[in-house]
Amino acid sequence: MTITTAQAAIQAASKAQPPQYSDTETYSRNILGPVWFHLSKLSVLGTAGLPIPPEFVAPDQSDYIIAADETFVASLNIAFNKSPLSALLMCLGTVVTVNWHFEGQGRRANEFDLSTSFETTKGQFVYTASLEAIPEEVRMNQGLYEVSATVEVGPAKHECSQFVLGYGYISEVLLQVYPSV
């Protein structure tokens, strides 16, 4: 092959390519896609149900007003987006910790935190985190409580994963506790 033939071949190949505007290499800054999650449906409900007649004072009992010896359930939904990186994090068994915050309103109601954790599962992107507790057992005094939750996503159950990957916050639910009789 002669030099002239080689130059002609290079010129022919360069016409098939789009023009080059710089000498820098191009690359993707987001090859696996973004990861995000959405918190929703924060709920705190008592579990006593309707009282048996003639002891009830109203036809319906509020789930948000509970006795000190009644079990309540706090829950929230966590939904991750479906990107390749999210799928990888779900597959790795990422630990998700929900810190439940009970902030007492008034002089008798105290403040305290409880937490629950779970591991993500391959192929699952929507989770419901929940906490069951009895006010007397967690030293919850009578009074009104504002309930909120912070969520920590990460680290994964993998030797290379050492960091919390994201935080979330959700609030605006009230719960009233009265002394049990």
**CATH number belonging to the domain at 31-178, selected among 1.10.10.10, 3.40.50.150, 2.60.40.10, 1.10.3810.10:** 2.60.40.10
Largest CA distance in the chain: 107
* Domain boundaries of the chain, sorted by first residue: 31-178
Rounded Cα distance between 131 and 39, Å, is 16
**pLDDT (average), residues 56-77:** 82
pLDDT of 155 over the 70 cut? yes
For the stretch 69-103, pLDDT in tens is: 999 999 999 999 999 989 999 999 999 999 999 99
> What confidence tier does 160 reach under pLDDT thresholds 50, 70, 90?
confident
> What confidence tier does 53 reach under pLDDT thresholds 50, 70, 90?
low
Find the distance separating the first CA and the last CA of the chain, reported in whole Å: 101
pLDDT of 164 over the 90 cut? no
pLDDT of 29 over the 70 cut? no
The CA R_g of the chain, rounded to the nearest whole Å, is 28
Q: What is the mean pLDDT of the chain?
A: 85
Could you identify the residue written with the tokens 């109601």?
109
**pLDDT (average), residues 135-152:** 95
pLDDT of 57 over the 80 cut? no
**pTM score, whole prediction:** 0.76
Rounded Cα distance between 40 and 109, Å, is 26
CA-wise closest residue to 166 among 146, 151, 147: 151
Say what the pLDDT of residue 111 is.
94
Say what the pLDDT of residue 147 is.
96
pLDDT of 118 over the 80 cut? yes
Query: Over pLDDT 90: what percentage of the chain?
Result: 53
pLDDT of 129 over the 70 cut? yes
> What confidence tier does 143 reach under pLDDT thresholds 50, 70, 90?
very high
